[in-house]
Amino acid sequence: MSDVQHILRKVSRPDPLPDVPRDCFAAVPRGAEEIAAAELGAMGIQGARAGRGGVSFSCDRSGLYRANLWLRCASRVLVQVGMFPCTGPEELYAGIYAIDWTLLITPDMTLAVDCNLRDSALKHSGFVALKTKDAVVDRIRAACGSRPSVNTAAPDVRINIHLLKNICTVSLDSSGDPLDRRGYRLERTEAPLRETLAAAVIALTGWNGSMPLADPMCGSGTIPIEAALLAGQVAPGLQRSFGFERWLDFDEKLWRRLVKEAENSVRKLPVGLVTGYDRDNRALKLAARNAVKAGFEGQIHFFHAELEAFQPEGENGVVIINPPYGKRLGEDDDLRELYCRIGDIMKKRCRGWTGYVLTGNLELAKYIGLKASRRFVLFNGPIECRLLKYELY
């Protein structure tokens, strides 16, 4: 959208949207809800409540921008604009129509509707999305004489419908692209860990950059890069844009100030703080390129090495391993052997360190042969995973 278009939209708006605290929901991989609530608390957003698959909180515009810029574990931040009981199409249409969409969308803007439905009379998300879109455009056409169009790929406003037990919550998706798209991943390797999940894993280990972190199976480098972002106090959203930047109430001055603050907080990593290793050269090259894109040229060190050759430097630190676990890579007996070797290497080479293994295969995890001192449940999409902690004295 051009600047002129944006200004025109603003002046033609019937009413300014007041900057009052609004109910928000940050969607989070299951298992990482408490971490995301703590992240919001650290940003000064009080009262965040962790629930299943997300965190509810209330914040003003500045809080919303901060949450998008700084949340490491959340996949999107939704801002609630309506809520009503809904047991059928008429109620849905009336409930959506009752929201004053003219404050949020002008006829020259585009929109898309995402739906998730659970335990409700309305069962077809495609139908709910269509009905919602009809009510929105009808309301705007009635007030303005023309209607916005639909753009599912890159809409100005993404509407989110959450229908749970016949209660419909209507929100705007302030993030746009999911927050795991930080902007540093250049290509995909075979089984990259989602950035938000990698950030959750690092947070669960309690690592804060005060000691080394090593990933002996780093693949495309997601864990080392997320660790570097954390230790370097880099806002994970610094390299991307957000849905709220296209909204009518977008406060560019405020946004620029928050971005400037975030840029000023960045610090350089000490040498040897974060290292990654892998036997796959192609993945390593990609990891190195991703790290440069993320702003860590020469700061994260990647080594081409078989697990057998892995030897972390330093007396203590955190080693995080995300081995293949059969559901997406490998799927054969070799994996049992690999898990045995992971246990062996951790025991023999990582004395004084704390080891963590993230796997979606509990059967394979048994082959590590060490006693886990803690187990965290995390979901990688639909796959239930365990993050296992090993004290390697």
Ligand X SMILES: C[S@@+](CC[C@H](N)C(=O)[O-])C[C@H]1O[C@@H](n2cnc3c(N)ncnc32)[C@H](O)[C@@H]1O
Residues forming contacts to ligand X in the complex (CB under 6 A) are 189, 191-193, 217-220, 222-223, 278-280, 283, 306-307, 322-324, 329, 338
Smallest gap, in angstroms, from Cβ of residue 117 to ligand X? 31
Q: State which residue, 69 or 217, has the beta carbon closest to ligand X.
A: 217
Smallest gap, in angstroms, from Cβ of residue 225 to ligand X? 9
Q: State which residue, 202 or 223, has the beta carbon closest to ligand X.
A: 223
What sign does the CA torsion over 36, 42, 43, 46 have? Answer: positive
Q: State which residue, 75 or 220, has the beta carbon closest to ligand X.
A: 220
> Whose CB is nearest to ligand X?
219
Return the C-alpha torsion angle 44, 45, 48, 53, nearest 10.
-100
Q: State which residue, 190 or 261, has the beta carbon closest to ligand X.
A: 190
Q: State which residue, 189 or 361, has the beta carbon closest to ligand X.
A: 189
Specify whether the CB–CB gap between 291 and 228 falls below 8 A: yes
**Angle formed by the axes of helices 195-205 and 222-231, to 10°?**
60
Structure tokens at 353: 């360190």
d(CA 387, CA 389): 7
Smallest gap, in angstroms, from Cβ of residue 26 to ligand X? 22
d(CA 82, CA 23): 10
Distances (CA, A) of 133 to 62, 112, 140, 158, 175: 29, 8, 11, 11, 20
List the beta strands (DSSP E) in the chain: 22-27, 49-51, 54-59, 76-85, 110-118, 149-150, 157-164, 167-173, 213-215, 274-278, 301-304, 318-321, 354-359, 374-380, 383-391
Smallest gap, in angstroms, from Cβ of residue 320 to ligand X? 9
Residue listed under structure tokens 């559901």:
327
Smallest gap, in angstroms, from Cβ of residue 323 to ligand X? 6
How many residues comprise the chain?
393
Q: State which residue, 240 or 327, has the beta carbon closest to ligand X.
A: 327
Smallest gap, in angstroms, from Cβ of residue 371 to ligand X? 23
Q: State which residue, 40 or 307, has the beta carbon closest to ligand X.
A: 307
| DSSP states of 19-73 | ---EEEEEE--TT-HHHHHHHHHHTT-TT-EEETTEEEEEE-HHHHHHHHHH-SS
Smallest gap, in angstroms, from Cβ of residue 356 to ligand X? 12
